[in-house]
């Protein structure tokens, strides 16, 4: 059964799209990531024009992350105060990112910079997380009880910064500077790379800010909801490349997937979740790296100007 996409200007199999949405939604609910770094490459692989894939992917992430964030809010695993502070930095960063994007585009080879950034961030973040979570799993097996990654007593330079705020839900007394800074950095990358940045914000919150893993997932979804909503608006106004039909199919299936993902995620331990996310991030990173280094099956590609969107 096929359906015609008005903005992408091509027909696709409806079940393939629904399947993609459900799978990405499931992972996104389980790990608390938006799934932008999964859905965009999948859509491009299915011949959707890259500009449409990036823009529509961000719109799908809005739904998946909002649905997940609401579930976490109801279960008390979302720190709203922390979320708003992050968001302040995130929106500032996204706005700055639009100008950086234009600057890089003028320099040429934007695609290459984006690909290299993806590979670098995914493999570094994935490797660090994997090492840490495997150590944590080993430790908890030895002690036989639930061991946290690090106790809040272990303070680092981040905790010596001024402008301290109390985040009750997270049981933290923390400076606002690194939170806003982190939000800003992720917002910057959202605009440049077309992703929500959940896969980077989660490890940063866990390891840098020492926020408990269960609160991190909900709070990250909250932040991702808003940054991707903003990115969707920007894409719609500047590139006209958001395809509502494609988005709706992805949204409906991913929202269902997210709910099951959240349930499975709640049954897993923090360190197991982190190890799973680390493996997923690494897998995508390796897949992208392979694409950069292996000889492509077709050296040539054809671009028709003015097709798909104007």
Interaction between residue 71 and another protein (CB under 8 A): yes
Q: Binding residue for another protein (CB under 8 A) from 20, 54, 64, 78? A: 64
Please state, as a whole number, how many other Cβ atoms lie within 10 Å of the Cβ of residue 105. 13
User: Which residue, 139 or 240, has its beta carbon nearer to another protein?
Assistant: 240
CB of 165 to another protein, least distance (A): 28
**Residue range at the interface with another protein (CB under 8 A); choices 133-141, 148-156, 174-182, 232-240:** 232-240
Interaction between residue 299 and another protein (CB under 8 A): yes
CB 265 within 8 A of CB 103: no
User: Which residue, 66 or 121, has its beta carbon nearer to another protein?
Assistant: 66
Q: Which residues of 137-175 are buried (b: 16+ CB within 10 A; e: fewer)?
A: beebeeeeeebebeeeeeeeebbeeeeeeebebbebebb
Q: Binding residue for another protein (CB under 8 A) from 88, 259, 264, 269? A: 259
Which two tokens mark 274?
Answer: 């982190």
Interaction between residue 106 and another protein (CB under 8 A): no
Interaction between residue 304 and another protein (CB under 8 A): yes
Maximum alpha-carbon separation in the chain: 62
Interaction between residue 294 and another protein (CB under 8 A): yes
Q: Binding residue for another protein (CB under 8 A) from 186, 211, 251, 280? A: 251
Interaction between residue 252 and another protein (CB under 8 A): yes
Question: Based on the number of CB atoms within 10 Å of its own CB, is 48 exposed (0-12), middle (13-18) or buried (19 or more)?
Answer: buried
Closest CA to 61 of 263, 229, 260: 229
Return all residues near 177 (Cβ < 8 A) that are at least 6 apart: 161, 162, 163
Residues 248 and 220: their CA atoms lie apart, in Å, by 23
# binding residues, another protein (CB under 8 A): 64
For another protein, the binding residues (CB under 8 A) are 2-4, 6-7, 9-11, 47, 59-60, 62-68, 70-71, 74, 109, 111-112, 116, 225, 229, 232-238, 240, 242, 244-245, 247-248, 251-252, 255-256, 258-259, 263, 291-296, 298-307, 310
């Amino acid at each position: 059964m096929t359906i015609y996409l008005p903005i992408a200007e091509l027909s696709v199999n409806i079940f393939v799209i629904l399947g993609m949405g459900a799978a990405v939604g499931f992972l996104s609910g389980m790990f608390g990531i938006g799934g932008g770094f999964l859905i965009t490459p999948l859509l491009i692989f299915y011949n959707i024009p890259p500009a449409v894939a990036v823009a529509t992917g961000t719109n799908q992430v809005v739904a998946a992350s909002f649905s997940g964030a609401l579930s976490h809010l109801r279960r008390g695993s979302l720190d709203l105060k922390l979320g708003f502070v992050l968001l302040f930095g995130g929106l500032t960063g996204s706005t700055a990112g639009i100008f950086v994007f234009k600057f890089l585009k003028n320099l040429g080879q934007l695609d290459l910079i984006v690909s290299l950034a993806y590979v670098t961030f995914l493999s570094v973040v994935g490797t660090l997380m994997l090492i840490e979570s495997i150590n944590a799993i080993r430790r908890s097996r030895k002690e036989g009880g639930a061991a946290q990654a690090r106790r809040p007593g272990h303070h680092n330079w981040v905790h010596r910064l001024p402008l301290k705020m109390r985040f009750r839900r997270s049981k933290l007394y923390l400076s606002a500077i690194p939170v806003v800074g982190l939000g800003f950095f992720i917002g910057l990358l959202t605009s440049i790379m077309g992703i929500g940045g959940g896969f980077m914000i989660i490890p940063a919150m866990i390891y840098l800010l020492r926020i408990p893993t269960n609160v991190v997932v909900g709070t990250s979804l909250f932040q991702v909801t808003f940054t991707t909503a903003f990115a969707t608006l920007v894409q719609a106004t500047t590139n006209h490349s958001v395809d509502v039909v494609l988005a709706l199919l992805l949204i409906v299936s991913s929202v269902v997937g997210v709910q099951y993902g959240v349930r499975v995620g709640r049954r897993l331990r923090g360190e197991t979740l982190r190890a799973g996310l680390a493996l997923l991030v690494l897998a995508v990173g390796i897949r992208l790296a392979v694409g950069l280094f292996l000889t492509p099956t077709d050296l040539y590609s054809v671009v028709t100007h003015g097709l798909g969107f104007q």
